[in-house]
Amino acid sequence: MDQIRRVLIVGGTHGNEWTGVYLVKKLQRSPHLATRQSFTTHTLIANPQAHELGRRYVDSDLNRCFCQVDLENLALVTYEHQRAREIVQIYGTNGQTPVDFTIDVHSTTANMGQTVILRDTNSFSLQLAAYLSHSNPAIKILASAPSSKGKLYLDSISAFGCTVEVGAVAQGVLNAALFQQTEDLVNAILDFAEAYNCQPHNLPSPGTAVDLYQSWQTVDYPKNDQGELLAMVHPQLQFADYQPLHPGDPMFLTFAGDTLAYTGDCVVYPIFINEAAYYEKAIALRLTQTHTMVITP
Amino acid sequence: MDQIRRVLIVGGTHGNEWTGVYLVKKLQRSPHLATRQSFTTHTLIANPQAHELGRRYVDSDLNRCFCQVDLENLALVTYEHQRAREIVQIYGTNGQTPVDFTIDVHSTTANMGQTVILRDTNSFSLQLAAYLSHSNPAIKILASAPSSKGKLYLDSISAFGCTVEVGAVAQGVLNAALFQQTEDLVNAILDFAEAYNCQPHNLPSPGTAVDLYQSWQTVDYPKNDQGELLAMVHPQLQFADYQPLHPGDPMFLTFAGDTLAYTGDCVVYPIFINEAAYYEKAIALRLTQTHTMVITP
């Protein structure tokens, strides 16, 4: 792609993640804040019904509704499956107002600070990652695991996309400091898109190394045969997202007070530790590995 | 009352406050943990349907359904109004298994540490407060404001009652450290009840001073004419529950980045700061004042 013509900023893909919803509302009131010279910026509250209800979703997780097979399967008629089709019909590659780059803004109850999740690791995404890391070393870059179902996520509706995750913040709450961090991060991504269009020579060049966390595998909570929780995330691991976890380190604490250790054989970097929305997905945390990639020409 | 014969420990009055739910489940699996010689202990998950749905309530807030007028008004037929009647019919003063003392276990997204809310400040409650403060000075004692509607709360179904609030923890999440703090606090309350029955001479005596926070008034978020939020809790105030707030101190931060100050004329001690469940109740925080009371004979 030569130029980014349209950028879409999305909030409220999960209705109880208020940071994105209120950031989008702010940008809708003050569109100049997201305006750059070389592209137009659109904004979207993706799941307004779920937000109205104060829930993550109405019927099913909207951010798992964007694989092509599901979009084409008209037998899937939940609110979110229909909403996904509407969004693709408006902003998708063959939609009414196709966008080139989607920024989907989320929040998490895990202590993930300012995280950018890359959908893939093509040179555009790695340039973005290098640009953001340089602008603020606190920003974490996460490469998501390829899904067996293909492109599930909302940020896959356009040629380029990324997801922003900021936390720790409870669902249904605005934390002002994290709101500002989210706004800063979205601004930095918009600045990158502007530089990509107007000053590509100023962007990180091919050959530049990019440090990132590569999503690897998930770990469920210990459960009994009835599927009931037997343990909680260990206090030493709670809020320790992105910190190294060594074999033998505490991972869970049973209700009886016993510590269960991490039994893997390599150092990992857990993320989404104790994310509220992931209990139902049987995910206590996600393990990542550090990885250095190089921007290709 | 001469003796406490039955104690009721309640969790899940709000279905998405998991600490109480899982503490009650633990005590149901291991009842000896809540057993004391001089009384029997009962346990209850108060709002199982809401917990199943992962929500605070199904139709209405169960912890506002216990005033006598509402209990007697059979036109009130929400799930929670009916559930309140069921609970009173079982455990209420004129119920099948009347309890003498109710401990209702809650959690909060505010940074309230280990808080015990006293329904009233009779000598029993003040003795309990003095006992707890002595056993652990970190425990905060909060005297709730008298409600204009009378005894609204679940802990009012018995002659004596108190509510436990522990946080900060997101809804729908177990935080192991706070779970343990909650369990410790409930154990200390059971120990008090045991001492009240068996060793009253060892309890704080009349004349003992008790420091507590007296609930005073609530403050709503700044809103526009359509009721939309204009500001968030200021970063300096976020998680600063029980810390003194002086006239002129920052209270809110508007989405435009302007600080709004506390405009009162006396030092206050805010609590329930940015509690997720209170946005819908038009409460950004509750102001308290410090107060010293004396146990009366």
CB of B97 closer than 8 Å to CB of B90: yes
B230 alpha carbon, distance to own chain's centre: 29
Whether A148 has a pLDDT exceeding 60, the answer reads no
For residue B252, the distance in angstroms to the closest alpha carbon of chain A comes to 9
pLDDT at res. A149: 60
Q: Sheet holding A250-254: strands in order across?
A: A231-233, A250-254, A259-261
Q: Going along A23-67, which residue ranges are E strands?
A: 40-45
The Cα of B200 is separated from the nearest Cα of chain A by a number of Å equal to: 31
Dist. CA A92–CA A97, nearest whole Å: 7
To the nearest whole percent, how much of chain B has pLDDT over 90? 95
Residues B132, B192 contacting (CB under 8 angstroms): yes
Q: Provide, as residue numbers in chain B, all residues whose Cβ is less than 8 Å from the Cβ of A272.
A: none
In the predicted model, what is the mean pLDDT of residues B83-105? 97
> What pLDDT score was predicted for residue B268?
98
- Report strand pairing: B6-11 vs A6-11: unpaired
Under 8 Å between Cβ of B61 and B119:
no
In chain A, DSSP finds a helix count (H) and a strand count (E) of 6, 12
Chain-chain contact of A26 with B255 (C-beta, under 8 angstroms): yes
Task: Read off the pLDDT band of A138 (50, 70, 90).
Answer: very high
Helix segments in B36-139, DSSP class H: 48-53, 68-72, 79-91, 123-135
> Where does the pLDDT of residue A151 fall: very low under 50, low under 70, confident under 90, or very high at 90 and above?
confident
d(CA A267, CA A265): 7
Closest CA to A141 of A208, A201, A199: A208
Contacts with B26 from chain A: Cβ below 8 Å:
255
Per-residue pLDDT, B297: 84
Query: Alpha helices of chain B — where are they, by DSSP H?
Result: 18-29, 48-53, 68-72, 79-91, 123-135, 176-198
Per DSSP bridges, beta strands B101-107 and B113-118 are unpaired
Nearest to A288 by CA among A276, A273, A274: A273
Q: What is the mean pLDDT of residues B255-274?
A: 97
Contact A253 B176 (CB under 8 A): yes
Q: Which chain B residues are Cβ-neighbours of A277 within 8 angstroms?
A: 172
Q: With bands split at pLDDT 50, 70 and 90, how would you rate the model's confidence at A2?
A: confident
Q: With contacts defined as CB-CB under 8 Å, which chain A residues touch B235?
A: 176-177, 180
| pLDDT for B225 | 96
B1 pLDDT band (50/70/90 cuts)? low
B220 CB contacts (<8 Å, ≥6 apart)? B282, B283, B284
Q: CA–CA distance from A92 to each of A1, A98, A101, A122, A125 (Å)?
A: 15, 5, 10, 20, 19
The C-alpha atoms of residue A127 and residue A107 are separated, in whole angstroms, by 24
Q: How far apart are CA B112 and CA B271, in angstroms?
A: 7
Average pLDDT over residues B220-249: 98
The predicted-structure confidence for B49-68, as pLDDT tens digits, reads as follows 999 999 999 999 999 999 99
Q: Between A2 and A83, whose confidence is greater?
A: A83
Distance (Å) from the alpha carbon of B69 to chain A's nearest alpha carbon: 29
Which one, of A228, A269, A99, A115, lies nearest residue A178 by Cα? A115
Helix orientation angle between A176-198 and A18-29, rounded to the nearest 10 degrees: 60
ipTM score: 0.94
Inter-chain contact A233–B176, Cβ cutoff 8 Å?
yes
**Cα B293–B262–B286 angle (5° rounding)?**
45
The mean pLDDT of chain B is: 96
Interacting residues of B21 by C-beta distance below 8 A, sequence separation 6+: B11, B12, B15, B45, B51
Q: CA A151, A154, A159, A165: dihedral to nearest 10 degrees?
A: -100
| Mean pLDDT on B83-97 | 97
Distances (CA, A) of B210 to A134, B80, B120: 55, 35, 13
Q: CB distance A177–B235 less than 8 Å? A: yes
Bridge partner residues of A4 (DSSP): none
Distance from CA of B235 to the nearest CA of A (A): 6
What six digits make up the tokens of B208? 């003992």
Residues B117-159 pLDDT 10s: 998 899 999 999 999 999 999 999 999 877 656 689 999 999 9
pLDDT per residue as tens digits for the range B281-295 = 999 999 999 999 999
Interface of A with B (CB under 8 A): 22, 25-26, 30, 54-55, 109, 168-177, 179-180, 228-229, 232-235, 238, 253, 255-257, 274, 276-277, 279-280
Measured CA to CA, the distance from residue B55 to residue B14 in angstroms comes to: 7
Point out the residue among B26, B176, B253 whose CB comes nearest to the CB of A234. Answer: B176
Cβ atoms < 10 Å from Cβ of B134: 14
pLDDT tops 70 at residue A42: yes
Task: Give A184-205 pLDDT, tens digit per residue.
Answer: 999 999 999 999 999 999 999 9
Give the DSSP letter of residue A146. Answer: P
Who has greater pLDDT, B17 or B119? B17
Contacts of A279 in chain B (CB under 8 A): 172-173
Distance of CA A124 to the CA centre of its chain: 17
Q: How confident is the model at residue B21 (pLDDT cuts 50, 70, 90)?
A: very high
Measured in angstroms, the CA of B234 and the nearest CA of chain A are apart by 6
Which residues of chain B make contact with A229, given a CB cutoff of 8 A? 22, 174
Q: What pLDDT score was predicted for residue B2?
A: 81
CB neighbour burial string for B191-204, b if at least 16 within 10 angstroms, e if fewer: ebbbbbbeeeeebb
Nearest Cβ partner for B173 among A109, A176, A177: A109
Q: Is A276–B170 a contact, with Cβ atoms under 8 angstroms apart? A: yes
A170 closest CB neighbour out of B109, B253, B257: B109
Nearest C-alpha in B relative to A52: B280
Q: Which residues of chain B lie closer than 8 angstroms to A176, CB-CB?
A: 232-235, 238, 253
CB-based contact A65:A79 (threshold 8 Å): no
Contact residues, chain B to chain A, C-beta under 8 Å: 22, 25-26, 30, 54-55, 109, 168-177, 179-180, 228-229, 232-235, 238, 253, 255-257, 274, 276-277, 279-280
Taking CA A245 as the corner, what is the angle to CA A267 and CA A137, rounded to the nearest 5 degrees?
Answer: 90
- Cα torsion A249, A252, A253, A259: sign: negative
In degrees to the nearest 10, what's the CA dihedral of B233, B239, B241, B243?
-100
**CA-based nearest residue in chain B for residue A23:** B255
At A261, the pLDDT band (50, 70, 90 cuts) reads: very high
Q: Which residues of chain B does A235 touch, with a Cβ-Cβ cutoff of 8 Å?
A: 176-177, 180
Q: Is the pLDDT of residue A1 over 70?
A: no
pLDDT, tens digit, 9 for 90 and up, residues B174-231: 999 999 999 999 999 999 999 999 999 999 999 999 999 999 999 999 999 999 999 9
Of all residues in chain A, the one with the smallest CA distance to B56 is A54
The answer to whether the Cβ–Cβ distance between A229 and B179 falls below 8 Å is no
Q: Which amino acid is at A36?
A: R
Residues in A touching B179 (Cβ below 8 Å) = 232, 255
User: According to the model, what pLDDT value does residue B29 have?
Assistant: 96
Q: Is A205 helix (H, G, I), strand (E, B) or coil?
A: coil
- Residue A232 in contact with residue A253, Cβ under 8 Å? yes
Nearest to B173 among A257, A276, A280 (CB): A276
Q: What are the chain B neighbours of A228 within 8 Å (beta carbons)? A: 25
Report pLDDT digits (tens) over B157-169. Answer: 999 999 999 999 9
Q: Are strands B160-167 and A269-271 parallel, antiparallel or unpaired?
A: unpaired
HSE-CB at B279 with a 13 A cutoff on CA atoms is 23
Buried/exposed A163-185: b ≥16 CB within 10 Å, e otherwise: bbbbbbbbbbbbbbbbbbbbbeb
Best residue in A25, A27, A173 to probe B by mutation, most B CBs within 10 Å? A173
* Number of neighbours of residue A111 by Cβ within 10 angstroms: 18
Tell me which residue of B126, B159, B125 sits closest to B6, measured CA to CA. B159
